[in-house]
Structure 1
Amino acid sequence: MTAPVRVLVCDDQALIRTGFATIIDAQPDLEVVAECGDGRSAVDLAAKVHPDVVVMDVRMPVLDGIEATRLLAGAGVAHPVKVLVVTTFNLDEYVYEALRAGASGFLLKDAPPAQLLHGIRTVATGAALLAPEVTRQLVGRYAARIRPADGGPADVALTPRELEVLRLIANGLSNSEIAATLVISQETVKTYVSRILTKLDLRDRVQAVVFAYRNGLVT
């Protein structure tokens, strides 16, 4: 038997926190090992209970979810923890910063329970969770802020096809949508995505989106 995925739930709203924990604990392959209401407590608890995934709110007292994510999953962290950020549309300006801080993905707070569970399982495997429809709104809205000051595209060591796939990822397309757009199989798309991540030394699809916008590869 595979051990359950250990989950820490961090949200300053008790009703939401309890609701998430109840949904998660009802699954045989998931286990809530701790709950808390602020980012500092999340960082402290993570060091004690060693969760596989932290479900993290953004706006919280003491330490917000962005800084907590940076301390848990950011560059230079010795033993990074996978973080799944939950947010609302009116807070989406913070989500980009959370992704830069090291989050493996994000969901909306009003997502159905099945999406929350899928998100936790996806992030736990080491994959990224980046909902295409949310990506389109989020990154499109803040693209000007994300792009480099000079506005010019970076010289990136990718083939023309790989650049094309990277741009489609950054525009929020899923693998199936990319496959349909380029008239190739989903397996081929997966191969391209893997090559892109390897060549650019990126952790996951989330970092690929951030990279594309930061380097002016998306118009």
Structure 2
Amino acid sequence: MSQLNLFPLFLSLKVAFMAALVGIAFGLPIAYYLSKSKSKLSDLIDTILTIPVVLPPTVLGYYLLVLLGRQSPIGQFLEERFQIMIVFTPTGAVIAASVVSIPFLIKSARTAFSEISRDIIHAAKLLGRSEWSIFFSIIVPLAWRGTVSGVILAFARALGDFGTTLMVSGSIPNKTLTMPIAIYDTMQSGDKEMTNLLVMIMTGVAVVSLFSLNRLEKRWGRRTW
């Protein structure tokens, strides 16, 4: 058995945490818009954002490579102007994990937002509150349980992502090698003992993370109400 390297574990936790933050920053406003809009545009946006749930990870990773690769307009612009590379970097891993996990946060938060009484929102508007003020001071606190559940799902999905992350960030040791990819590599190399050890570690981390986040959800939910 080769020597245990915990870098993939720490990277996976970091990537999942960053992906959850990205989901909160971008997913919650989108979920709020989708919860109150009945237009065809909102249906189109919802469809596009849900595609990562049904597309094979390799297909999704390919799209991200085409969009953000060094030969793409975006990739060339970032590299020439800011010396930023996305593909085969930890940043690429975060983007890949964010794309595959954000639909889960949006779906959960959207459902929670839709259950809020419209009378409360109308009353706030009559009092002169802006949309952003209503969103942060009324909508988010009232939908806190659904929001936290969405964050938990997004974190868990990002933590276990394999195919899309592998396509975008690769499996560079001590740079972009996340835990799921490390497990795959050790299995391919025939190191069963290391594979079993990494699987147990990953399972334990996933259980502890979800249990802790669920406890926080219940505690914060009680404080909110």
The interval holding the TM-score normalised by the smaller chain is: under 0.3
| Structure richer in helix, relative to its length | 2
Structure with max Cα Rg? 2
| Structure richer in strand, relative to its length | 1
Higher relative contact order (CA 8 A, sep 6+): 2
What TM-score do you get using the length of structure 2 for normalisation?
A: 0.26
